[in-house]
Amino acid sequence: MSARPDSAKLKTQGLLWIALAYLAGAAIGVGTGIAAGYWMDDVQPLWVAVLADLAATLIVFGFGRALNNSSIFDPYWSIAPPLLGLYWAAAQPGRGNPVRRAVVLVLVGAWAARLTWNCLRGWGGLDDEDWRYRDLRARYPRTYWWISLAGLHLMPTVVVFIGCLSLYAALTAGARPLNWVDGAALLVTAGAIGLEARADAELWRFRATRRPGERLATGLWKVLRHPNYVGEMAFWWGLYLFALAANPGAWWTIVGPLSITGLFNLASIPMMERHMRDRRRE
């Protein structure tokens, strides 16, 4: 009988599957975008991105279903925005202030790299699935994958895409000169990335040394209940400020940060609070 693979090997195998899933998703997404441009005259880059985003989501969902692990989709939150941004910038090269476009793309890339790394470094492989998904499996065993498709895949894709409307406006609006709103946007967005990075570093150090029943209440976690979530919400508000800096008429893209703020305050944070209470009772 062969020995059970060690944890490092299981994680490597899982990461390879994730890489394959996202390469396939990207390929199908690009193909969908090309097909949309071919079959529909004058289709706008925004709508091409909608179709490509949904197609890629379904492909990654298919991999998660086949591998029986919905956490395959977790990195999508951070991988999709920089790809959308690069596409929008490339599809309309003459639009927008070049300095603003460069700053926004660099910030989104830095945010995505940090968040993706933080998501994957603690993942144990295909046997490791987010506790929220395991709870849903236990509560709805017969309909779990329909719930996963609608609530864990399509809904986050829609919310993140709505958040990226600010990114679209910032990258494709007219070449408005840099202004004080750009400065505020830079401070908020870069500050949010720094806040998330520090909060995650403190959390990782705590997890490595914590004792049973101990609660993290030092550093940022002493001041803020969920500093990583605060940083994430602030990041999307920073992108909204960049959209206003590029075009004050893009005020309507506020639906993006509002949607993401609502998602965290109405879903993510309450779920985390319940989970923390349950763990303290154990």
222 within 8 A of 183, measured Cβ to Cβ: no
* Residue 88 CB partners (closer than 8 Å, separation 6+): 45, 46, 49, 167, 168, 171, 172
> Does residue 46 fall inside a structural domain?
no
Total structural domains within the chain: 1
> Does residue 136 fall inside a structural domain?
yes
Whole-angstrom distance, CA of residue 89 vs CA of residue 98: 10
List, for residues 233-282, the tens digit of each pLDDT value: 999 999 999 999 999 999 999 999 999 999 999 888 888 877 666 665 55
List, for residues 28-72, the tens digit of each pLDDT value: 999 998 887 777 666 688 889 999 999 999 999 999 999 999 999
> Does residue 263 fall inside a structural domain?
yes
Range of the domain at 195: 75-281
> Does residue 276 fall inside a structural domain?
yes
* pTM, to two decimals: 0.91
> Does residue 19 fall inside a structural domain?
no
Percent of the chain exceeding pLDDT 90 equals 67
> Does residue 18 fall inside a structural domain?
no
> Does residue 265 fall inside a structural domain?
yes
